[in-house]
Structure 1
Amino acid sequence: MKHILVSLVVFVFVDLAVSMKEKNEKAPQVQVYSRLPGNFGVQNTLICHTSGFHPPEISIKLQKNGNEMKSNQTDLAFEENWHYHLTKHALFTPEKGETYSCVVSHTTGIKTYYWEPDM
């Protein structure tokens, strides 16, 4: 009987911990844009801004045609509600037919967001 009671307590504790973790997770809001209007053949800066996410563990990759681009990243920062934001950027010269994207990996999932030129 004692073994059953201990198993039940452990089950309830684990279930509660998982429920609390799920409640605290919030997917990032993602914006992919360029510093200047997106014109082909003109150097620009590709920006991927993530915000409002929790927990803070996140990975951002800027890609050209599926290949990771050399980029820089801001420091992770948090807002009053303990949700976080992070931005990654890279110099690029958009060319017609090329695909530019931002791949965001977070505990809530992995998603790809695409930059759209202003043409």
Structure 2
Amino acid sequence: MPRLVGSLPLLLVLILCGSAAARDAPPKVQVYSRAPRQFEHNNTLLCHASGFHPPEVSLELLRNGQPMEDGQQGALAFDQTWQYHLTIAAPFTPEGGDQFSCRVTHLKTTNTHIWDPDM
């Protein structure tokens, strides 16, 4: 039993460090295409959110402000610091004048990130 009592302070430190690493953090967002932009060619639009906590997040791909129906969301994953990441992808064919973006909602805050076809 003394061994268990002696390890309680260490256990407490580990719990406190783990909860400190899991503080609220907004997502870092990247919106990009699988292939370089070519108008009127099939491509895939991706939105990747990373480094956020807690894990409750919503990603939505938009074309001219309207939801894209064919989005496929990957599995929510996390790293050793309890920071989460998530990706959504959808097939698309960019045309001149279209605007593509990703709407991200986390902790009741919504931001829209525009795809830059020249990136």
- The question of a shared fold, defined as TM-score above 0.5 by the shorter chain, is answered with yes
1:52 matched to 2:51? The reply is yes
Gaps of 5+ in 2: 1-18
Structure 2 residue matching 1:24: 3-state secondary structure: coil
Partner of 1:100: 100
Please report the RMSD computed on the Cα atoms of aligned residues, expressed in angstroms.
1.7
**In structure 1, C-alpha distance between the alignment counterparts of 2:102 and 2:88, rounded to whole Å:** 9
Deviation of 1:118 (Å): 2.6
Structure 2: which amino acid aligns with 1:105?
T
- Which aligned runs of 4 or more in structure 1 are off by greater than 2 angstroms? none
Deviation of 1:24 (Å): 1.6
**In structure 2, C-alpha distance between the alignment counterparts of 1:117 and 1:76, rounded to whole Å:** 26
Q: Which moved more, 1:38-47 or 1:107-116?
A: 107-116
Alignment of 1:1-119 (within 5 A): 24-70=23-69, 71-107=71-107, 109-118=109-118
**In structure 2, C-alpha distance between the alignment counterparts of 1:113 and 1:58, rounded to whole Å:** 15
Structure 2 residue matching 1:49: 3-state secondary structure: strand
Gaps of 5+ in 1: 1-19
Deviation of 1:116 (Å): 1.2
CA distances 1:25-51 after superposition (whole Å, capped 9, x unpaired): 100000000000011111100000000
Identity %: 51
